């Protein structure tokens, strides 16, 4: 992903994410992790397989992540690496409208994740992730109470 992307293309990508995309992060139970949970952040863009060529052009602007085809004929472009998510969001955040708050919170969560040094720090991170879920109107909202 290059900072050489024009402002017009940044705005286009922001609009695409606002309309046909998703930003989310979740805690997945995983006993191999220090505090029993894995932090899993994602940005996903969606498009019908019928628009495959155009979708690939759009995704090539981003130059990170990967495309997969779902069984229902929908293509998903997924970015799930911390540094790539932060770089992409910083590039398009000024142009987001609907998902601007989620983008800012995702950047905050990913930065805070690297500063976790204790159970208390991890609990604060979990609280931010819960706040994120509220922004996305999750139907399966779960509050994380991770105190020992």
Summarize pLDDT for 104-146 with one digit per residue, the tens: 999 999 999 999 999 999 999 999 998 877 777 655 545 555 5
Over residues 95-112, mean pLDDT: 96
State the pLDDT at residue 44.
95
Tell me if residue 19 is catalytic: yes
Over residues 34-63, mean pLDDT: 91
Is residue 59 pLDDT above 90, yes or no? no
State the pLDDT at residue 3.
54
Tell me if residue 21 is catalytic: no
Assigned architecture for domain 7-135: Roll (3.10)
Q: Quote the percentage of the chain above a pLDDT of 70.
A: 89
Of the residues 19, 36, 63, 104, only one is catalytic, namely 19
Strand ordering across the sheet containing 21-29: 21-29, 37-48, 74-79, 66-69
Determine contact, residues 136/24, Cβ cutoff 8 Å: yes
State the pLDDT at residue 120.
95
Summarize pLDDT for 2-20 with one digit per residue, the tens: 557 899 999 999 999 999 9
Q: d(Cα 27, Cα 115) in Å, to the nearest integer?
A: 17
State the pLDDT at residue 42.
96
Of the residues 15, 18, 20, 130, only one is catalytic, namely 20
Q: What angle do the packed helices 82-92 and 7-20 form, to 10 degrees? A: 110
Distances (CA, A) of 111 to 9, 11, 66, 75: 26, 24, 23, 29
């Amino acid at each position: 992903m290059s900072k050489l992307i024009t402002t017009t293309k940044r705005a286009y990508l922001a609009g695409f994410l606002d309309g046909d995309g998703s930003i989310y992060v979740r805690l997945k139970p995983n006993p191999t992790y220090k505090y029993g949970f894995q932090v899993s952040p994602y940005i996903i863009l969606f498009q019908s397989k019928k628009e495959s060529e155009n979708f690939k052009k759009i995704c090539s602007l981003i130059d990170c992540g990967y495309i997969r085809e779902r069984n229902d004929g929908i293509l998903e472009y997924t970015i799930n690496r911390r540094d790539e998510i932060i770089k992409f969001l910083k590039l398009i955040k000024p142009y987001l409208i609907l998902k601007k708050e989620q983008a800012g919170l995702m950047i905050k969560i990913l930065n805070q994740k690297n500063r976790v040094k204790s159970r208390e720090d991890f609990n604060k991170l979990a609280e931010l992730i819960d706040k994120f879920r509220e922004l996305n109107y999750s139907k399966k909202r779960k509050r994380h109470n991770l105190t020992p």
